[in-house]
Amino acid sequence: MKKLIVLLLVCTLALPLFAGGQRDAAPAPAAPVVEEEFDLEALIEAAQAEGELVAYFTSGRIDAVGNLFEEKYGIRVRGTKMGDPEQAERVIREVDAGNVQVDVIGFEDGPLLETQLIPRGYVQSWVPPDLKDVISEEDQNPLVFLWQPRIFGYNGEVYADGSPVNNVWELTEPQWKGKILIRDPGLTPAHLGFFASMITNHQMLEQAYVDLYGRQLVTNEENAGWEFLKRLFQNDIISFRSDSDVGDAVGSAGQTDPPVGFYVLTKHRDNAAKNLSLTTMQGLQPFMGYALPTYALIVKDAPNPNAAKLFVHFILTEGHYPWTGRDIGAFSSNRTIPPHPLNEGTWDEWTQKLLPVDNVQAMRMRQDIMDFWLEYGAN
């Protein structure tokens, strides 16, 4: 009985601990957001009046960019490399709790962004008005700051005479069984978008089939896209943890019968450092891979909204160097920034060879494709 009384007492005292939870009194009003008439100087001034900027980015280069930003504006950037799912969970939960810590994110899961995060107001896409003319219309909503080709590549040391694969249907043939490496689709939402795009663009695959084999494809699946995916998955494709691991496995020197792989073009920077022979499958029909965007977004109720804007402005201008100048493989959405000389062409040229991903469509099909992967890809 005594125990019970004490327990009851303690429980009553503790009740508010479990109750809905109160938000702290509204934080000091943030500095007014600079809008309308864009004045970079005013933005800089407002940004410098704020605190340290917090950024979650999918790319580890956020560190280098942060240092450049601090050098230039004296604003410290606390950048963390973080995957899309963690970023999404954190932003959603921070905003819901009314305790936002992060200002700006660099995010790759376009489908989630366009169907949920932006419509629900968790993040906001902001295009610096003075850059509106140098960024293509389609990169502005939501704002893309970085484009990367994610492509098929092979070992150029072994296949010195050129790509061993010229048509994606060849990848479904027995000679490539167990020799196609890819970052685990079960961990890579962007790949699911690529697969969705194959299905919506199934005519391309149908035509490619005719081009290769000289006859029409016969399939029980809904269309050539599903059929291609099924055959690809069933050809014992091998999942890796990261594009780096794929690149290393495909490109390492001294192999006799190397696999082919699917990875971001940026991995070609390792050719020198790790003595790899990664080579792109230029001319692969009907596509070489897909266009992978990275979006820059400002989080709702960001504690440092002006610094966030200035940072977005920065990564679209000189702050782009660590991504596009130092290493190869990425393209700024700011068209006045020239591509790296080793990028094998301009972004416009690349887009001709890559499948675009329709974010809304990709999200609609994500679950079905995931199931398809589980059914034919898992063991």
Applying the rule CB under 8 A, the residues between 202 and 231 that interact with another protein are: none
Verify binding: residue 164, another protein, rule CB under 8 A.
no
Choice between 132 and 326, CB closer to another protein? 326
The DSSP secondary structure of 95-152, one letter per residue, reads HHHT-----EEEE--HHHIIIIITTTTSEE----GGGTTTB-GGGBTTBEEEEEEEEE
Cα–Cα dist 57/63, whole Å: 10
Residue 62 host element (H or E): helix 62-73
Q: Least separation, in Å, of the C-beta of 133 and another protein? A: 33
Verify binding: residue 259, another protein, rule CB under 8 A.
yes
| C-alpha torsion sign, points 60, 62, 66, 68 | positive
Parallel, antiparallel or unpaired: strands 53-57 and 77-81? parallel
Residues touching another protein: how many (CB under 8 A)?
A: 92
Verify binding: residue 40, another protein, rule CB under 8 A.
no
Verify binding: residue 347, another protein, rule CB under 8 A.
no
Q: Restricting to residues 122-161, which ones interact with another protein according to CB under 8 A?
A: none
Choice between 218 and 272, CB closer to another protein? 272
Verify binding: residue 51, another protein, rule CB under 8 A.
no
Choice between 3 and 215, CB closer to another protein? 3
Using the rule CB under 8 A, which residue among 26, 28, 218, 378 binds another protein? 378
Residue 346 tokens read as 């301009």
Are 5 and 275 a contacting pair, CB within 8 Å? no
Binding mask 308-337 for another protein (x = CB under 8 A): ------------------x-----------
Verify binding: residue 23, another protein, rule CB under 8 A.
yes
Q: Least separation, in Å, of the C-beta of 346 and another protein? A: 26
157-163 contact pairs (CB < 8 A, 24+): 157/253, 157/255, 157/277, 158/255, 158/256, 158/257, 158/258, 158/277, 159/279, 163/279, 163/281, 163/282, 163/283, 163/284
Using the rule CB under 8 A, which residue among 24, 36, 71, 138 binds another protein? 24
Using the rule CB under 8 A, which residue among 47, 75, 90, 344 binds another protein? 90
Residues 6+ apart with CB under 8 A from 362: 110, 111, 192, 193, 196, 197
Of 48-56, 200-208, 288-296, 338-346, which part binds another protein (CB under 8 A)? 48-56
Q: Least separation, in Å, of the C-beta of 165 and another protein? A: 15
Q: Which of left, alpha, beta for 336 (phi over 0: left; psi -120 to 50: alpha)?
A: alpha
Verify binding: residue 75, another protein, rule CB under 8 A.
no
Using the rule CB under 8 A, which residue among 108, 109, 139, 358 binds another protein? 109
